[in-house]
Amino acid sequence: MDLSIIIPAFNERDSLATLLSRIKKAVAPLKMTMEVIIVDDGSTDGTVEELKKLKQKYSFLKAIIFRKNFGKSAALSEGFKYATGSISVTMDADLQDDPAEIPKLLNKLNEGYDLVSGWKKKRFDPITKKLSSRFFNFVTSKLTGIQIHDFNCGLKAYRSEVIKTIKVYGEMHRFLPVFANWQGFRVGEIVVQHHRREHGKSKFGIRRFFNGFMDLITVLFLTRYKTSPLHIFGMMGTLTFLIGFGIEAVLTFQKIFMNIDIRNRPIFFLGILLIIVGVQFIVLGLLGELQTADYAEKVEYSYKEIIE
């Protein structure tokens, strides 16, 4: 199989027929064998029945039906497991991602990239979604060091070794370029066309915005400090300890040489608290290092090739 197209779908019944028609039209000139894997994420609007009807028309269609709504990351993870193509493309089912962009993604891959992410430079979304997404993408790019503009874009192309290497769970799907980069894969980006939603309603909510930042903290920890937890906890602990120690040193000087009563001053107790917290951070880092030593025996690294 040359190409696998993986599409998570949740209550997108009215979009599926049009989507499959557009995919077929976009891929036909490429002369590639294709499978389209739609992962139904617990839809309740008749999506499953629609998929069964469409299977009669499109032989390349495959479907994975979840018993309940597990989320987009779970849908992508299962889609990746079942994909057999040498290249996989992911896209959303709401018709806002344009299948006509697939050839452009593949051309960018051929420039030597392992993962190519779409950039919805001109978006047709509510202003709240556009502003929150822009802020999230800016912060994520700066903190991870990956120079792409749109981590949330569902339209991406991957070489098979990428999807077989990276693990997707929780709500980490938006950070797939980060995980791929961490594994040593080359990540690129192209501007893609974005369309207005034709059917249904957006699944975006303010909760997803805050969840995204919590996940970003997790990703930074996993990619930078997973094998060296003492580096971050030790740094935090040392800084906290030194601030507390400095406060107590100044107060001790005032007590000895200036005869100033320090016992009832709030800053005296703050200094003690900072020293205790600093020591706890360092101890936490050491405990993490003990677990990391055991983890190191099981860790697997991503190979590009082996020459013998």
Tens place of pLDDT for every residue, the chain, 308 residues? 699 999 999 988 999 999 999 999 999 999 899 999 999 999 988 899 999 999 999 999 999 999 898 888 889 999 999 999 999 999 999 888 999 999 999 999 999 999 999 998 887 777 777 777 888 888 888 888 888 888 888 899 999 999 988 888 777 788 899 889 888 899 999 999 887 766 656 655 556 656 766 777 777 777 777 667 777 788 889 999 999 999 999 988 888 888 888 777 889 899 999 999 999 999 988 887 777 666 555 556 555 665 55
- pLDDT for 254: 87
As given in the structure block, the two tokens for residue 300 are: 């697997």
**For the domain 3-224, what is the CATH code?**
3.90.550.10
Could you tell me the CA-to-CA distances from 145 to 137, 148, 172 in Å, in that order? 11, 9, 17
Contact between 40 and 51 under an 8 Å Cβ cutoff? The reply is: yes
Cα dist. 2→31, 105, 108, 159, 166 in Å? 9, 14, 16, 10, 20
